[in-house]
Structure 1
Amino acid sequence: MAETTAKPLPLPFIYTFTAGAVAGVTELMLLYPLDVVKTRQQLDTSKNPAGMVTVFKNIIKQEGPATLYRGIMAPMMMEAPKRALKFGANGWWGSLFTDNGKKKMTQSLATITGCCAGATESFVVTPFELVKIRMQDKASAHLYKGPMDVVKQVVQQKGLIGLYQGMEPTFWRHWWWNGGYFGSIYTIKEILPKAKGKNGEMINNLAAGTCGGFIGTVINTPFDVVKSRLQLHATGEWTYPALFRIAREEGVAALYKGFAPKVLRLAPGGGVLLLVVEALSGVFRKQLGPPYI
């Protein structure tokens, strides 16, 4: 009679939450300047926007290298809870959909789990994203003394609800990115050769996370463009009508403004995230012992 081996239980929420927090801060410190360049390109409404390298050079030449880290305090305060919630919520929804690991994870379940994690994440990150956009935009940055001044002015003008300006496009941005990211990671891990040893596992996680970051970015960039503009200008539009308006007025390519720096951050960033999360998860499983290993 064949001997069956019980599958390890999913890690408790607090452990996936902690792993995500550490991974998020690591990824942010390495790749944040690309996010500044991306935002500048997305906010450019001209028909012939400057390329990524030109924007990067102009920022350094005209505003100084420190500008590439302008607004980092908002995402730094956000990144730990944001990434923590991303992986924590993904683990929680995954446990829910698989009945705590009793049911087999499938491609469709991995995708919908990621989408639900993104939806959960969006409720936390919207105020931080609003602050970051206001600080990164060249035309409006001088209006604020710092991140907390952005919060103060927004609350004075529109009340606490003003911090959730752009909530709807933020929801869709995270819904689609997380669905693409976690869904594709599941498939890529199934395709990759079985890892041999810890180095093999690290390479597989880096490869799967990088591919997942790329796919998630391709899917969600149009929603990110809309989110950046609605959070800055407060036009009151809904996401999907705004998508069609931008495509009509500026061309479909405008929906992918800022794609190069965005994908250069989030593709390898997705790899870094998964690599750090999986490494820490392995440590946590050893500490917890059976039935988590």
Structure 2
Amino acid sequence: MVADSKGKSDISFAGTFAGSAFAACFAEICTIPLDTAKVRLQLQKSAVAGDGMALPKYKGMLGTVATIAREEGLAALWKGIVPGLHRQCVYGGLRIGLYEPVKNLYVGSDFVGDVPLTKKILAALTTGAIGITVANPTDLVKVRLQAEGKLPAGVPRRYSGALNAYSTIVRQEGVGALWTGIGPNIARNAIINAAELASYDQVKETILKIPGFTDNVVTHLFAGLGAGFFAVCIGSPVDVVKSRMMGDSTYKNTLDCFIKTLKNDGPLAFYKGFIPNFGRLGSWNVIMFLTLEQAKKFVRSLESSRA
């Protein structure tokens, strides 16, 4: 399990998967308004109005949240929550549930001591890539639903809900379309997963070596914030490309999206939505890891009582 770096997990894979999926879903419910704001900011492009530049519709995290709530209602902030929960059940369960066994595989069954940071990163890269390859359709539908609200007034919506979005995409674009953006999505999620799990593992391990610190909520809080910060700094550029490819079908491929974004909006566009992204991932990681640690205790006691 995450941060159990001094030995093998004493929880079954099924228990780890269930606890991870629950923690990820709970964090998703709490923070998806920030994710919706992040996606809107990332999809926002520079537009020309007359001889000058048009003012952007969305400004900052709180401004974007307020604009969406005012123009579309509070419920719009939770658009994409259903596929978001689908995603977290699959992706969250796999990437965290597989982390410990993959990490043990890389260091070997006879390894003793603290796992090297490089092995933690490699393990997290692997489980992130595996998890998102399976969960990409849920990610695509979530982004499509979140992007719906930016359509002009009077323009009919493409999807009535998550299930309708899955079926419509398959019917109109083919099954393969569910894996649109899989390249940048694997890159983004593998990198962010490595930043989150490896940094949480490492930060927690380091904190526990400081006199006075124990394996408690304070330690989990600091480790979760560290995980969120590293994840945003490292993963923001690929996250922007992923969101644009999933939200706009005019891009030919990952490279085309990267070049057009750089040419039309400049290099800073790759860090559009950085503050809401950190607000989202920082709070998401804190909530997720705090919940996960409690879920681990519950599953451990449950499995011990059944032994």
TM range (shorter): 0.7 to 0.9
Matched residues in 1 for 2:252 and 2:109: separation?
40
Equivalent of residue 95 in structure 1, options 79, 94, 104: 104
Paired residues in the alignment total 285
Note if 1:35 corresponds to 2:35. Answer: yes
In the TM superposition, structure 1's runs of 4+ consecutive aligned residues that sit over 6 Å from their partners are 195-199
CA shift digits 1:237-293 (9 cap, x unpaired): 44355334422321111001122112111112112222222222233334445xx9x
Distance 1:248 1:17 in 2: 42
Specify the alignment match of 1:160 in structure 2: 175
Q: What is aligned with 2:52?
A: none
The residue correspondences of 1:63-78 to structure 2 (distance < 5 A) are 63-78=72-87
The aligned counterpart of 1:232 is 247
Q: Is the 8 Å Cα contact of residues 16 and 277 (structure 1) preserved in structure 2?
A: no
- Output one character per residue of 1:196-244: Cα deviation in whole Å (capped at 9) or x when no partner: 9997522112211221111111111111111111112234544355334
* Distance in 2 (alpha carbons) for counterparts of 1:142 and 1:274: 36
Matched AA of 2:74: P
Whole-Å Cα distance in 2 between the matches of residues 280 and 200 of structure 1?
A: 14
- In the aligned structure 2, how far is the partner of 1:221 from the partner of 1:227? 10
Deviations 1:149-173 (A, max 9, x none): 2112211122211111111111011
Matched AA of 1:54:
G
Q: Provide the rounded CA distance (Å) in 2 between the counterparts of 1:177 and 1:271.
A: 15
Matched, 1:112 2:122: yes
Query: Which residue pairs with 1:223 in the alignment?
Result: 238
| 2-structure distance, mates of 1:197, 1:13 | 32
SS at the partner of 1:102? Answer: coil
Following the alignment from structure 1 to structure 2, what is the Cα–Cα distance between the partners of residues 268 and 139? 25
The one-character-per-residue Cα deviations of 1:14-37 (angstroms, maximum 9, x if unpaired) are 122111011011101211111111
Which residue, out of 181, 190, 193, partners 1:175? 190
Unmatched segments (≥5 aa) in structure 2 = 1-5, 48-54
Q: Which has the higher helix share?
A: 1
The residue identity in structure 2 corresponding to 1:65 is L
2:225 aligned with 1:210:
yes
CA distance in 1, matches of 2:208, 2:8: 24
Paired residue type of 2:118: S
Q: In the TM superposition, what whole-angstrom CA distance separates every residue of 1:43-89 from its partner, at most 9, and x where no partner exists? A: 10127642222221111111111111112111122222221112112
Paired with 2:283 and 2:68, the residues of 1 have a C-alpha distance of 23
Matches within 5 A, 1:53-68: 53-68=62-77
Please state if 1:254 is matched with 2:293: no
Distance (whole Å) between structure 2 residues aligned to residue 252 and residue 200 of structure 1: 41
Structure 1 CA distance for aligned equivalents of residues 28 and 108 of structure 2 = 33
Aligned partner of 1:4 in structure 2 is none
Deviations along 1:79-128, one digit per CA (max 9) or x if unpaired, are: 22221112112122112113347344111111111111110111122101
Structure 1: runs of 5 or more not aligned: 1-6
Contact 2:106 2:119 in 1 (8 A): yes
Q: 1:256-271 to 2 correspondence within 5 Å? A: 256-271=271-286
TM-score, scaled relative to structure 1: 0.88
The 1:180–1:241 alpha-carbon spacing in structure 2 relative to 1, beyond 3 Å, is farther
Could you say which residue in structure 2 is the equivalent of 1:24? 24
Matched, 1:131 2:141: yes
Separation in 2, partners of 1:227, 1:247: 14
Distance 1:227 1:45 in 2: 15
What's the C-alpha RMSD, in Å, of the aligned pairs?
Answer: 2.6
- Which residue number corresponds to residue 9 of structure 1? 8
Letter in 2 for 1:9: K
Q: In the alignment, what sits opposite 2:132?
A: 122
Mapped to 2, the partners of 1:221 and 1:70 lie a distance apart of 21
Percent sequence identity is 27
The alpha-carbon distance between structure 1 residues 237 and 95, as it changes in their structure 2 partners (threshold 3 A), is farther
Change (3 A) 1:101 1:88: farther
Q: Which moved more, 1:235-244 or 1:112-121?
A: 235-244
**What CA deviation, in whole Å up to 9, does each residue of 1:132-162 have, x standing for no partner?**
1111112458121111221122111222111
